[in-house]
Amino acid sequence: MSMISRLAARAERAVSQLSLEASVHVVAARRGLTPDAVRQAGGAGEVVRDATSGRIARKPGDDMRAKQEALYLTVTHFGRPVRSVARAAGLSAPAVLKAVRAVEDRRDEGGMDRILDELELELMPGGSP
């Protein structure tokens, strides 16, 4: 790998890391969480039974939902590649895709579109809702 290729790869990682950090901070502030709580989110969440199918599923907690939203914004708002975001977050690419899909599924919930629009405004230079 040439020196230019190595520098380009390093720059790609840095941009994804900075984009993710910006998203984490904005989402954390909106949800009243610390950025560390969003970064470290994981775990099982609440166990619920789907009313339609009767299947048992896990409903993510606020910290996990915030992490999913930060990953979503990093991929969609900043246009960062999923693999690059996954590396920046210490996750697998399928885990990032799953988070993005989870947020897309929640867009039908009341007010979620508005919240995501406001978060995107906050991520713009000089932006605020």
Does some domain include residue 63?
yes
> Is 129 inside a domain boundary?
no
Q: Which tokens sit at 35? A: 């950025």
Domain tally for the chain? 1
**Range(s) of the domain holding residue 27:** 3-123
Report yes or no on 32 lying in a domain. Answer: yes
* Residue 128 belongs to some domain of the structure: no
- In a domain, residue 58? The reply is yes
pLDDT tens series, the chain, 129 aa: 799 999 988 898 999 999 999 999 999 999 999 999 999 987 555 555 667 777 765 566 888 999 999 999 999 999 999 999 999 999 999 999 999 999 999 888 778 889 999 999 999 987 665
CATH number where 100 lies: 1.10.1750.10
Residue 80 lies in a domain: yes
Residue 118 lies in a domain: yes
Q: Could you tell me the pTM of the whole model?
A: 0.82
Residue-by-residue DSSP string for 62-127: HHHHHHHHHHHHHHHTS---HHHHHHHHT--HHHHHHHHHHHHHHTTSTTHHHHHHHHHHHHSTT-
